[in-house]
Amino acid sequence: MKTRRQFLQYSGSVGGGLWLSSKLQLPQSVFAQAPEGTLDPTGIPKYVMPLVKPPAMPGRSNKNKDKYKIAVRQFRQQILPPGLPDTTVWSYGSVDHPGTVLEGGTFNYPAFTIEATAYKTTQVQWRNELVDDKGKFLPHLLPVDQTLHWANPPGGINGRDSRGSDPDLYLGPVPIVTHVHGAHTTEDSDGYPEAWYLPDAKNIPAGYARTGTFFDIYNSTYGHRWDPGVVSFKYPNDQSAATLWYHDHTLGMTRVNVYAGPAGFYLIRGGPNDLDLGYTAPGVGDSPFGEYTEIPIVIQDRSFNADGSLFYPDNRAFFEGLNANQLQIPFIPDPACEG
């Protein structure tokens, strides 16, 4: 039997997911069993939930630039098949089109696709809105180990971006910074791990660092004047057509932040090296369950608790090489797709 490492090497793993062609031959078994108490994957009905085909993220465009206002928020969504509990997740969505897909909005897990044009700039205002309806910060959905080399907001200005010493799990405001994997950018728009920022919550504890070390360095170097909890990144898209993805990139927290949900496709089209095969992809306002001939697919593994919540271990001996017990395409266990 192939090991998980062999499987990832064979499949062409990219960060938090596997980007696959239809000709990939999957090994029969690549998962280890998660600890007792998690939802038994053998009891989850297969091929019941329809495959999600993320529509295009709505934005505003002119001849020189595409602009987006995109936030990370927390919401509940039916990830497991009907009859099983729904799941609290995080994901990206358009600030101008709030609410989940079922509510007529754009916040969905997985996130909608950013459609970019080669050699035309994309500008994104990335907002950390992990706050409740009263404006107070939301704690992480998953265990955060403070003894790693991580963002460490409780360390304050002098102790941020360092290895913490508190053995308790972190329950404070969540830092994020978004990175487009594979995109050509300047350093201040790269989503550098130490360029994180907290949400603009009303109850940030006194003494906490609200931004990472390189957030402040880039602000000083480039003269940015961003509002609390907000940044604006530019992507020149001066590269060939490509399938990229965007996700959180915070120091020492990427594993748990991406596991909680915020990730989506960033597709660059056009330019001299693109090939238009005439396939149809879901556009702005299209249903994520419609019929299309271009279907981006990302495969990730997740484990669930019996109450529908995401499972992630708080033991470093286990999470350094976590093998979750449920394969999802994308974020739906064993979805149904009729071609």
For residue 265, which amino acid is it? F
Q: Which CATH superfamily is domain 31-35+58-278 in?
A: Cupredoxins -  blue copper proteins (2.60.40.420)
Instruction: Assign 188 to helix, strand or coil.
Output: helix
Residues 111-167 have pLDDT tens digits of 999 999 999 999 999 999 999 999 999 999 999 999 999 999 999 999 999 999 999
Q: How far, in Å, CA of 226 to CA of 181, rounded?
A: 23
Tokens read off for 170: 């972190």
Can you give the residue ranges of every domain in the chain?
A: 31-35+58-278
Q: What is the pLDDT of residue 280?
A: 93
Q: What is the pLDDT of residue 10?
A: 39
- Alpha-carbon separation of residue 70 from 59, 144, 167, 270 (angstroms): 9, 25, 34, 23
* Region for 90 from its dihedrals, namely left if φ exceeds 0, alpha if ψ lies in -120 to 50, beta otherwise: beta
Spatial CA neighbour of 112 closest among 91, 133, 130: 91
Tokens read off for 44: 């989850």
Spatial CA neighbour of 58 closest among 25, 96, 99: 96
Question: DSSP class of residue 336?
Answer: B
Tokens read off for 148: 């790693």
Instruction: Assign 215 to helix, strand or coil.
Output: helix
Per the document, the length of the chain is 339
Which positions of the chain have pLDDT values less than 50? Answer: 1-33, 330
| Residue 19 CA to its chain's centroid (Å) | 15
Tokens read off for 179: 């990175």
